[in-house]
Amino acid sequence: MLKQWEEMQCPADTELEERLREVREKLKVQQLKVKEHRIPVLVLVEGWGTAGKGSLIGQMIKNIDPRFFKVASMSAPTEEEKRKPFLYRHFVKIPEAGKFSFLDSGWMDEIMREKLDGELNDRKYEERIESVKRFERQLTDNGYLVVKLFLQVSREEQKKRIARLAGEKDTKWRVSKNDHWQNEHYDTCMEAFDAYLKNTALPSAPWYIIDAKSKKWTELQALQILTEAIDVALANNALAVPILQNVFPMEKMPLLSEVALDKTLDADAYKEELKRLQHRLGELHNRLYRKKVPVIIAYEGWDAAGKGGNIKRLTGALDPRGYEVHPIASPEPHEKARHYLWRFWTRLPKTGHIAIFDRTWYGRVMVERLEGFCSENDWKRAYNEINEFEKELHDWGAVILKFWVQIDKDTQLARFNERQNTPEKQWKITEEDWRNREKWDAYEEAVNEMLQKTSTTYAPWHILESVDKRYARIKALKIVIKELEKVL
């Protein structure tokens, strides 16, 4: 792409000014429509060092109400960010519905540096490209407008700019080592950039190469592309996209109706086992902390199935500095305004830590599906999106454990009644629980589909038979221990 790219003819000054005025005006009007139609707009500005990424963003935002945009500038990952998956620091910066995010370079820049530094071998590079494509596709599939700009300057022009900036005391700091390196290895960089642009050109999120010869000309091109892209996004509403076939290795799961629920454990055996297993888990927690293995434990299950008690028996064994429990309720407005996985990306553990989710991202294919909080296309697409999400975590090195806490309908009724009739437990039961109970059959169907479609070998579901809660707790502990032992 970049290699075939030809410099464009910049219009004469008066025409340039005239066209700039027009397109700035257009963006000013569009920002209100973007707001009204709740379109999240992500503008990624990549390009050569000294091409003027920052000042382009500075120009673009002048036309947008400050309440409607955020600017993020990519620097080397912090120590904290290094302990998260590659996509983490990019995913957390996606805009809210109706708002703009301008990124002063991002995942392209990061991958290119890693590649040119020789940190990424071919296989790792392929993996990164795959991650990026999935990430951007998930965004556009979920209604994001993703505009990707690459600012192009020639070797000579870059050299001139470096010399000019480096020559003045006030601007010297703006020339980085990397800028010098790029200029000295221009052809090598060009080769790498060209391949990246080609590899990540999605029809729904194409690349645009911008001739960055002069500031105003750069701005004109960028605003023309942006406003045109907004026009296209405004013309679409509630896009449905093809549901992709699963490409991940799956584990066979039973139907819920096939799960025998008569398993029990007597109190003495339970006590003994609990003590022994918690001790063992404590040891393992220490080791995974030292080996920096991140662990993600996800709990889903029927109301009153015993998730809370089960989680308590796990955490009882853990050092509080090394884990966190995330109770997941319905999303806050700022969460609802983003990709549904955003609030889980932001809650990921650091390497060496355990994150336990009491309810999870699987809400998308259960409550959101059944209550109509998302479209049919949304939840049907979500199985793959979730498998991709968990694959990302797995490739990062995470151990992923997913528990479905299973009881039968009668057991639930008995527990609901007990809660209702026990004053200190009444807070645990709500009208909504009773309403959900009425939809048991529909939920069961959804859960079965979820178990079939998201039990990958790298993140399989485990069913905890929880009519006897003691049995379920011991089983959970055993599974966690077994899986951790595999990697430690």
Is residue 247 at the binding interface for a copy of itself, with CB under 8 A as the rule?
yes
Q: Among 17, 80, 156, 231, which residue sits at the site for a copy of itself (rule: CB under 8 A)?
A: 231
Residues 6+ apart with CB under 8 A from 473: 270, 274, 306, 309, 310, 313
Which residue do the tokens 């009491």 mark? Answer: 358
Q: 9 vs 329, which CB is nearer to a copy of itself?
A: 9
Q: Give the binding-site size for a copy of itself (rule: CB under 8 A).
A: 40
CB of 124 to a copy of itself, least distance (A): 18
Is residue 394 at the binding interface for a copy of itself, with CB under 8 A as the rule?
no
Is residue 14 at the binding interface for a copy of itself, with CB under 8 A as the rule?
no
Q: Which two tokens stand for residue 82?
A: 């290094």
Is residue 232 at the binding interface for a copy of itself, with CB under 8 A as the rule?
yes
Residues 6+ apart with CB under 8 A from 412: 302, 303, 304, 305, 437
Residue 461, strand partner residues: 402
Stretch that binds a copy of itself, among 25-33, 88-96, 112-120, 199-207 (CB under 8 A): 199-207
Which residue do the tokens 């004469």 mark? Answer: 12
Q: Distance (Å, rounded) from C-alpha 72 to C-alpha 22? A: 27
Q: Among 207, 302, 362, 403, which residue sits at the site for a copy of itself (rule: CB under 8 A)?
A: 207
Is residue 372 at the binding interface for a copy of itself, with CB under 8 A as the rule?
no
43 — phi, psi (to 5°)?
A: -110, 110
Q: Among 12, 169, 177, 249, which residue sits at the site for a copy of itself (rule: CB under 8 A)?
A: 249
Is residue 252 at the binding interface for a copy of itself, with CB under 8 A as the rule?
yes
Buried b (16+ CB within 10 A) or exposed e, 130-161: bbbebbbbbbbbbbbbbbbbbbbbeeebbbeb
In terms of Cβ atoms closer than 10 Å to its own Cβ (0-12, 13-18, 19+), residue 35 is middle
Which residue do the tokens 């809210």 mark? Answer: 96
Q: Among 286, 315, 377, 448, which residue sits at the site for a copy of itself (rule: CB under 8 A)?
A: 377
Stretch that binds a copy of itself, among 4-12, 106-114, 304-312, 426-434 (CB under 8 A): 4-12
Is residue 12 at the binding interface for a copy of itself, with CB under 8 A as the rule?
no
Is residue 245 at the binding interface for a copy of itself, with CB under 8 A as the rule?
yes
Is residue 29 at the binding interface for a copy of itself, with CB under 8 A as the rule?
no
Q: Among 12, 238, 260, 267, which residue sits at the site for a copy of itself (rule: CB under 8 A)?
A: 238
Is residue 203 at the binding interface for a copy of itself, with CB under 8 A as the rule?
yes
Q: 353 vs 394, which CB is nearer to a copy of itself?
A: 394
Helix (H) or strand (E) run with residue 198 in it: helix 186-199
Q: Distance (Å, rounded) from C-alpha 30 to C-alpha 37? A: 10
CB of 207 to a copy of itself, least distance (A): 7
Residues 6+ apart with CB under 8 A from 232: none
Which residues here bind a copy of itself, judged by CB under 8 A?
A: 1, 4-6, 9, 137, 141, 202-209, 225, 228-229, 231-233, 235-236, 238-245, 247-250, 252, 375-377, 380
